[in-house]
Structure 1
Amino acid sequence: MLDKSLLGYGFCERAPYAADPAGTRGRLVPEEQSRTRSDFQRDRDRIIHSTAFRRLAHKTQVFVALEGDHYRTRLTHTMEVAQIARGLARALRLDEDLAEAVALVHDFGHTPFGHTGEDVLDEVLDHCGGFDHNAQSLRIVTALERRYANFDGLNLTWETLDGLVKHNGPLIGPHANGKPVPKPILDFDARLNLELDSFACLEAQVAAIADDIAYNTHDIDDGLRAGLLTLEMLEEVPFLADMLASMRAQHPKLEADRIAHEIMRRQITSMVEDVITVAQARIAEVNPQSSADVRAAGQAFAVFSDEMAATDKALKRFLFANLYRHPDVMRVRKAAAKVLHDLFDALMDDPSLMKGHFWQDGVVGASGDDKARHVADYLAGMTDTYALSMHRRLFDHTPELR
């Protein structure tokens, strides 16, 4: 049962198990404290003011931006994740600024054209460790953003970096997913120990589950808007079928657009309340007295109940079969993959095409793996529109991504 007395309506004192900005482990490059903002607030602000954050506005979520103005981009998805993460953080009396910072930075490493771009870069970098968008996010905030006089990257706090790297769980040890740890993460961990065998703080955990909630709900909404999904198709998932039946009983003449929005709203509410209920129960059972206790607990706190986890899997199976692998989506993905393959080959042949900033200087004298990684950094930072524009300049024919 959801304990509403613990929901943070208005200001609520931070719980003992929340991350405390006054007790931060600091930054790789020491800085003076701000007189007006906590360290986690400064992290959030640096993330929002970064170049990588602005680029999210023109990176694909599922549908290429050319399809229409109302589909979600990486930026709108990121903002929706941050909103859900803040709500969860408030309910659990966590540090909302840290939860928001992790949510806002979690997609920095995504490529143009959604997961298609990640698949292409993983393929062309297979000989040197592949490509992982989470590791790329870390590279961006620790090296590739070059805005400040005293350091490369954004010089974020240990807690934000820890949350970025491990928001989905430990990367090594008995609780890891068994996948190899990407080299960029290992390289940075050698400079600043991120305790890769422990769980992340609760703020990062709520950002991770917020991402799942946002994906499931908003991809259904975009799929309905695109006409690739129908309300009748949603009845394949019992969770959605029950919602549809309830809405039709309450509002038998409600138009389809309003029904779609009601599904999204009710789905988010159900999932958020489920996570809060489970987290409250686990917190009560473990009784962590610090954020360190959370990381050392050997389990995640912000997770779905068994019933909702089964629903989450059913929703993902439904979306994979009916949306992500829809023939229209796959046709566009194939064309986008060709664009990125062409650009990678062209930049490897002639790195001088990487004009401006530090790209050309960085690749001078580089060869082999270093050169390929540098080109991949350049491609990963591109927006959909810039990648298409560059392809049109270099090639006689550019596929139509429609």
Structure 2
Amino acid sequence: MTIREQLEQQELQFLSPNACPNLGHAQRMRPEESCPYRTEFQRDRDRILHCNSFRRLKRKTQVFLSPAGDHYRTRLTHTLEVAQIARTISRAMGLNEDLTEAIALGHDLGHSPFGHSGESILNSICPHGYRHYEQSLRVVDIIEKNGAGLNLTEEVRNGILCHTNRIADTKEGNVVRIADRIAYMNHDIEDAIRAGILRKEDLPSDVVEALGDTKTKRITKLVGAVVEHGTEQIGMAPEIQAMHDKLHAFLFERVYYNPIAKQEENKAKLLIETLYTHFISHASLLPAQYLAIAEKEDIHRAVCDYISGMSDGYAVDLYKDLFIPKGWE
């Protein structure tokens, strides 16, 4: 047997009955010859890790737009933290860690520049609408590799699509959905405290008592709650879920809608609107890959794909090149 075949047999022997093994699953839209060393879910993980969209996450906003400090989260560091939490849960529950990791690494590939501010404005101006989880699937299916896509397995594609607010077809996909929220709630608390818009003492006292007074304690408590809940239905005990939800609501009130955190949001929206309108009117300036999308689908789809793939810095630089006068050299 090849190493891959040995790994597939080990999965059948050691994974939970509720896990998703490679054998009997892991079908691709376009059939490919198998790798002798890696399972299909391992190959998906590697394709995501090496793709252009993954590298651009390092320059995309998480909560604070283009923060000056080195220690604020970006979309890339958020993705890595989600992957770590999701893998911990999956390993403890006997689920497929490779499938979990692939979904986690790919879940935010479609995020726009300037985080959810960018998502909101693209959703309002593009006739097709814009939701980052749907765009993430579009990235891996259509946009990556100059239009060829990554040809991922159905289970990874489904997990990426469902990571925000849908029930995934696999337990691993649902683990990523919960790990995503565990990660961003806790690292956003840390970033908000670093930014001076939140104090540790501001957190609801009953949440602190139930989940812990540090990031490590809260993550450990929430991860443990998911593991202890079991694999039949991925979730948490009701009392822990209630504290989780209360913390989530608190962060929306005090951080995500905080005027200090969002003070540059109107500028970001103006920038994206201006770029969008410009390329709708000047389609010939689009890169060749996006011109092909315009011809196959329509110009709005192509412009939305182009802008949503930009990093914060690239969008700002492009705006300057197009609309800010330069000194005569």
CA contact under 8 A between 1:169 and 1:199: conserved in structure 2? Answer: no
Superposition map of 1:90-169 within 5 A? 90-125=91-126, 128-146=127-145, 152-168=148-164
Partner of 1:374: 302
* Superposed CA offset, 1:290-311 (max 9, x none): xxxxxxxxxxx11122112211
Selected match of 2:173 from 204, 209, 213? 204
Q: CA deviation at 1:242?
A: 6.2
Q: Residue 307 of structure 2 aligns to which amino acid in structure 1?
A: L
Superposition map of 1:301-320 within 5 A? 301-320=233-252
Superposition map of 1:357-396 within 5 A? 357-363=288-294, 370-396=298-324
Q: CA deviation at 1:362?
A: 3.6
Partner of 1:83: 84
* Superposed CA offset, 1:296-333 (max 9, x none): xxxxx111221122112211221111111111122211
**Is 1:277 paired with 2:231?**
no
Selected match of 2:182 from 207, 213, 232? 213
The whole-number CA distance in structure 1 between the counterparts of 2:272 and 2:312 is 10
Q: CA deviation at 1:243?
A: 6.6
Q: CA deviation at 1:165?
A: 2.1
Q: Moved runs in structure 1, 4+ residues, more than 4 A?
A: 241-244
SS at match of 1:316: helix
SS at match of 1:18: coil
Q: CA deviation at 1:239?
A: 1.5
CA contact under 8 A between 1:22 and 1:38: conserved in structure 2? Answer: no
Partner of 2:43: 42
CA contact under 8 A between 2:57 and 2:74: conserved in structure 1? Answer: yes
CA contact under 8 A between 1:167 and 1:200: conserved in structure 2? Answer: no
Selected match of 1:238 from 199, 206, 212? 206
Q: Residue 209 of structure 1 aligns to which amino acid in structure 2?
A: I
90-99 vs 342-351, which deviates more? 342-351
CA 1:82–1:243 in structure 2 vs 1: closer, same or farther (change >3 Å)?
A: closer
The whole-number CA distance in structure 2 between the counterparts of 1:223 and 1:169 is 24
CA 1:138–1:273 in structure 2 vs 1: closer, same or farther (change >3 Å)?
A: same
Partner of 1:19: 20
Superposition map of 1:183-198 within 5 A? none
Q: CA deviation at 1:379?
A: 0.4
Q: CA deviation at 1:16?
A: 2.1
SS at match of 1:377: helix
CA RMSD, 1 decimal: 2.1
Q: Residue 65 of structure 1 aligns to which amino acid in structure 2?
A: S
SS at match of 1:358: helix
Partner of 1:194: none
Q: Residue 379 of structure 1 aligns to which amino acid in structure 2?
A: I
Selected match of 1:348 from 271, 275, 280? 280
SS at match of 2:263: helix
SS at match of 2:37: coil
Partner of 1:6: none
The whole-number CA distance in structure 2 between the counterparts of 1:358 and 1:168 is 28
Percent identity over the alignment is 40
The whole-number CA distance in structure 1 between the counterparts of 2:242 and 2:253 is 17
CA contact under 8 A between 2:60 and 2:74: conserved in structure 1? Answer: yes
CA 1:322–1:84 in structure 2 vs 1: closer, same or farther (change >3 Å)?
A: same
The whole-number CA distance in structure 2 between the counterparts of 1:210 and 1:123 is 28
**TM-score, normalising length from structure 1?**
0.74
Q: Which runs of 5+ in 1 are unaligned?
A: 1-10, 171-197, 245-261, 284-300, 398-402
Q: CA deviation at 1:237?
A: 4.3
Q: Residue 17 of structure 2 aligns to which amino acid in structure 1?
A: P
Partner of 1:3: none
Q: CA deviation at 1:277?
A: 1.1
Q: Residue 48 of structure 1 aligns to which amino acid in structure 2?
A: L
The whole-number CA distance in structure 2 between the counterparts of 1:228 and 1:169 is 28
**TM-score, normalising length from structure 2?**
0.90
The alignment covers a number of residue pairs equal to 314
The whole-number CA distance in structure 2 between the counterparts of 1:381 and 1:91 is 35
CA contact under 8 A between 2:162 and 2:177: conserved in structure 1? Answer: no
CA contact under 8 A between 2:53 and 2:109: conserved in structure 1? Answer: yes
